[in-house]
Chain A
Amino acid sequence: MQHASLSVAQSLLIALWVAAVQSRALGYSTLMLRFSPMMTGFIVGLVMGDVAQAMKITAAIQLVYMGMIAPGGAMPSEPAVATSIAVPVALLSGLKPTEAIAIAVPVGMLGSYLYQLRFYFNTFIIRLTDKFASETNDKGLFLGIIVLPTIVSFVLYVPLIFVALYYGAPVIANFTASLAGGKIFHILSVIGGGLAALGIALILKVIGKPSFLVFFLLAYFMAVSLASLKINTVTYAIIGGIVAYLYVMFTSANAEA
């Protein structure tokens, strides 16, 4: 509970970061920035001067959002927006990482409507871009394709996130802090810990055939039974890579035979 509220500068910096991500103004590098809460959590940690705790909270949020992909552009939730509010609230009120998920999830859903709004405004800009294209006006196209959509997104995101952080975060933080330790917190914590199952189930469904589940079970029981050895994830990734290599090698050998 080191902070009572966010300063104007802190709220503004976080709001600008969210706008830069959600406007996609940093090119394709914004794909992971938008799909994953990690970098947003890191920036919030830097701005609020507590990177370590911010990262712990964000890691818990990440698990819920594993497997989020956006075919066609729309997602049911916006992890970066969710994190930009949930991590400051959790830092202000001293929430546990699994409890912070309860704040992140509803905010993320609201965030997805905001993203749709961006498409809507861009639809108006297209009329102007069409005109510049017909004139082969490269400066005009710079305006229509890059500058105006970016400005629109910043106008959309910066004030909203700023107000939510500057005025909203302390209120939510005080409210949640007043509930601390009770039954509700136990429930929130259980939900937060279990929701990680959602992200993982989603990714199993999205990237693998049902027959690949056997590799999930292999890794799961390996990690559960070897937990005391504290094998790190890079080692596990190497083992997984070898398993994947063997799988591809054997299946393609069958196909050739």
Chain B
Amino acid sequence: MSAEKDKNLAPEKITTKDLARSWFRWWYANEIPHSFDRYIAPSLLWGLMPILRKLYKKQEDLKEAYERHMQFFNTQAIWGGGTILGITASLEEARANALYEGREDEAVSAEVINSTKLGLMGPLAGIGDAIDSGTVQYILLAIALPWAQAGSGLGALIPWIAFVTLTYIYGFYFVKLGHRLGRAAAVEIVGGANIKKLLNGLSVLGIFMMGILAASYVKVSTSFKWTISGKEFVLQNILDQVLPGLLPLVTVMGVYLYFTKKGLKITQALLGLSVILGILAGIGLL
């Protein structure tokens, strides 16, 4: 075995620069090759390619690694993709070193690499979707919405630039964390108490901002009025005396209850709400 040890076949060390390069490649390819049967597996391969080339100097090992990462894979780009990219790089590095040193039996097997990716992609994507897509994105949009409403392009530019910059930076942090800690990084993220606190805090902030938005931008008011013995009654004025902002709140809570009872049937809710509002407007109540 030791006769095989050719210096030219030794795996190179993976540096922070390599990780940064792979992170950009993954970040860029991300959803481009999305397909029905492999989802975004090719994007992870695209990210890992320079690292795999540094690790596997033997053609057949490299070929195996490339083919390995063409298998089904799907996750969220930042929390899932960042962490898994780092972890995979560390696993591939361990495997390449073991293979080179002739310890094939002890090497991290291809199955372990694949099952690590497949096992982590779901839970991490759940966290990433909730935090990035569901909360951070909408907090930024909510803050900037009034600028757009006032006619300023900054209402579009600022949340976009802020979101891209923030996610790019902490995504790379996850890559480095994954590479440093290996599979322990996932435990840190999925089970960590700090992440739970962060998630709760962001949820509270996101929900708070939705209250602010609902108050200003959900426009439901009644145009109904009637006259009794020469005195005109305007229904909206009466409602405003009882509880200002009642109708928009009832509308939001109504849709919320619908989602709670029937699940997230967005299209049905959209059509149903349109029909109800349309009829109420048609008969002159709204």
Contacts and interface: CB of A to CB of B under 8 A. Distances in A.
A197 B36 contact: no
Interface stretch (B89-97, B104-112, B231-239, B251-259): B251-259
Contacts of A149: 32-34
A42 B269 contact: no
Interface in A59-116: 59-60, 62-63, 66-67, 69-73, 76-77, 98, 105, 109
Nearest to A256: B193
- Looking at B43, B197, B209, the one whose CB has the most chain A CB atoms below 10 A away is B209
B221 to A, nearest CB: 8
Interface string A133-155: 11110100100111001100000
B187 interface: no
Interface residues of A, number: 112
A220 B156 contact: no
Interface residues of B, number: 111
- Looking at B59, B63, B143, the one whose CB has the most chain A CB atoms below 10 A away is B143
Interface stretch (B3-11, B14-22, B128-136, B175-183): B128-136
A58 B148 contact: yes
A205 B259 contact: yes
Interface of B: 27-39, 42-43, 45-46, 49, 53, 59, 62-63, 66-67, 69-70, 74, 77-78, 125-126, 129-130, 132-135, 137-139, 141-146, 148-153, 155-157, 159-160, 163-164, 167-168, 171, 193, 197, 200-220, 244-245, 248-249, 251-256, 258-260, 264, 266-267, 269-270, 273-274, 277-278, 280-282, 286
Interface stretch (A156-164, A170-178, A244-252): A244-252
Given A69-B134, A73-B39, A236-B212, A212 B148 contact: no
Nearest to B246: A224
A158 B261 CA distance: 40
Given A202-B259, A207-B134, A247-B204, A193 B139 contact: no
Given A73-B74, A141-B46, A194 B251 contact: yes
Contacts of B200: 244, 247-248, 251
Interface of A: 23-25, 27-33, 35-36, 38-39, 41-42, 45-46, 51-53, 55-56, 58-60, 62-63, 66-67, 69-73, 76-77, 98, 105, 109, 118-120, 122-123, 125-126, 129-130, 133-136, 138, 141, 144-146, 149-150, 183, 186-187, 189-191, 193-198, 200-210, 212-213, 215-225, 227, 232-234, 236-237, 239-241, 243-245, 247-248, 251-252
